[in-house]
Amino acid sequence: MQRLKTSDPDFERRFAAIVNDRRESDDDVSRVVSDILERIKVGGDAALRALTEKFDGHDLDKGGWRIEAQACEAAYKALEPKLREALDLAASRIRAYHEAQLPQDRDYTDDAGVRLGARWHPVDAAGLYVPGGRAAYPSSLLMNAIPAKVAGVERLVVVTPTPRGAVNELVLAAAHLAGVDEIWRVGGAQAVAALAYGTETIRPVDVITGPGNAYVAEAKRQLYGVVGIDMVAGPSEILVIADNKSDPDWIAADLLSQAEHDPTSQSILITDDAIFAEQVEDAVDVTCAQLATHKTARTSWDDYGVLLVVEDLLEEGTALANRLAAEHVELSVDDPQAFFDRLRHAGSVFLGRHTPEAVGDYVAGPNHVLPTGRRARFSSGLSVLDFMKRTSFLGLDEASLGVIGPAAVALAEMEGLPAHAKSVQVRLK
């Protein structure tokens, strides 16, 4: 864990190293994934069957390729009432938030008499990767599947590994609640390839979303262009900006909420009180020791955790936050709005001492699939727009072509494209 102060003479060098650190896949992962993608593209079902047996210990022919809708419905009905109510609440809030994101078609005629506009349509089919094992989270399924259904996607396909045949009943329950159409018992880069290229059994999709390990993320990166993707997600991140009026135990829990995801996750605290930073560090040690996930959280905190002390929390804190462009930013201060007004780059922002990042992971409504690795500088969290595309249109009559056509002819001739110019010119009087 690193300790930094903006007053340190080597602060800029050390902070720049944190900003530029890449905790993502290396060249070896890229080569392995490239080979897997080619095997699925060429070998189809046979390659998918072999790789699933190799990596998951699941025989697709004996144990089944697909999980049927009846199994998902049964899993949902078998939930304890409180857990079912929690899933229902999460789904309803996520659905309401994303319904408000639906874009509106445009159709208007401008002063030149030209009809202009755009229409939005959902993609025909979307694929959703749902991790298995330790990272099998029903909340992630809801966060990915519900926006797709709100967008109007007719065919929503889930791929999820079932190690040694084991299925996650909570994931099945969430799939029922979200209205998933197909669930295939395959995972890893090979499952992403099957969604992109299609096999004899699994039909291809148009967009692939969902979290996964480094191999899944690299597969999505390499397949972008064959299909659309949500983003190339790296390890989880949380940045907490907190003053000394905050409870150190609360802040420690917030930092560990991301550290427990993965050994390469990163948790950063920015404060203007060095004593408070020490209190949080002590609280992290105590809290981490009590977690069932303590091994992962401890490794993440020890290797990538940062305590950063500034002199001016509002000015310096937000400036450094904009350089980090973190996935999650918590503002545990008296006037979170003042800090929020200065933030330009963040995946999602959590305002005030009673807004832990974890509530956003489950029931708040905004999507928890967010850009990592400083990509919040240029990208946004998952939304209905990831499952839709816009088609522009225009319509001219003789009069409106007469108004704007001569300019098109002039520009085409200037660019040395005579056929472009002629296609307009022949219509002009």
CB 369 within 8 A of CB 143: yes
pLDDT digits (tens, 9 = 90+) for 30-80: 999 999 999 999 999 999 999 999 999 999 999 999 999 999 999 999 999
pLDDT digits (tens, 9 = 90+) for 197-246: 999 999 999 999 998 888 999 999 999 999 999 988 888 999 999 999 99
Q: Which two tokens stand for residue 186?
A: 């395959």
**Rg of the chain in Å (alpha carbons):** 25
Q: What's at 221, amino acid-wise?
A: R
Instruction: Tell me which of 182, 218, 281, 327 is the catalytic residue.
Output: 327
Tell me, yes or no, if the two domains 2-23+234-364 and 27-109+122-229 fold the same way. Answer: yes
Distances (CA, A) of 213 to 42, 102, 134, 219, 359: 24, 30, 11, 10, 23
Residues 403, 113 contacting (CB under 8 angstroms): yes
Q: Which amino acid, 334?
A: D
What are the tens digits of pLDDT across the range 170-202? Answer: 999 999 999 999 999 999 999 999 999 999 999
Number of Cβ atoms within 10 Å of the Cβ of 142? 24
Q: Are 395 and 114 in contact (CB under 8 A)?
A: yes
Active site includes 328?
yes
Predicted confidence at residue 25, as pLDDT, reads 61
Percent of the chain, pLDDT > 90?
Answer: 93
Per-residue pLDDT of the chain (429 residues), as tens digits, is 999 999 999 999 999 999 998 776 677 899 999 999 999 999 999 999 999 999 999 999 999 999 999 999 999 999 999 999 999 999 999 999 999 999 999 999 999 999 999 999 999 999 999 988 656 789 999 999 999 999 999 999 999 999 998 898 999 999 999 999 999 999 999 999 999 999 999 999 999 999 888 899 999 999 999 999 998 888 899 999 999 999 999 999 999 999 999 899 999 999 999 999 999 999 999 999 999 999 999 999 999 999 999 999 999 999 999 999 999 999 999 999 999 999 999 999 999 999 999 999 999 999 999 999 999 999 999 999 999 999 999 999 999 999 999 999 999 999 999 999 999 999 998
Residue extents of the structural domains in the chain = 2-23+234-364, 27-109+122-229, 396-425
Q: Which structure tokens are listed for 357?
A: 């990042």
Side chain identity at residue 12, one-letter code: E
Which tokens hold the place of 394? 């225009």
Q: What is the pLDDT of residue 75?
A: 96
The CATH-assigned architecture of domain 27-109+122-229 is 3-Layer(aba) Sandwich (3.40)
Question: Percent of the chain having pLDDT more than 70?
Answer: 99
Contacts of residue 81, defined as CB under 8 A and 6 or more positions apart, other chains included, come to none
Backbone angle region of 117, left / alpha / beta, with phi > 0 → left and psi within -120 to 50 → alpha: left
CATH number for the region 2-23+234-364 comes to: 3.40.50.1980
Nearest-angstrom CA–CA distance, 350 and 222: 33
The H or E element that residue 208 is part of is: strand 207-209
241/335 Cα distance (integer angstroms): 12
Instruction: Judge whether 260 and 292 are in contact, CB under 8 Å.
Output: no
Q: Which of 237, 328, 330, 368 is catalytic?
A: 328
- Length of the chain, please? 429
Residue type at position 387: F
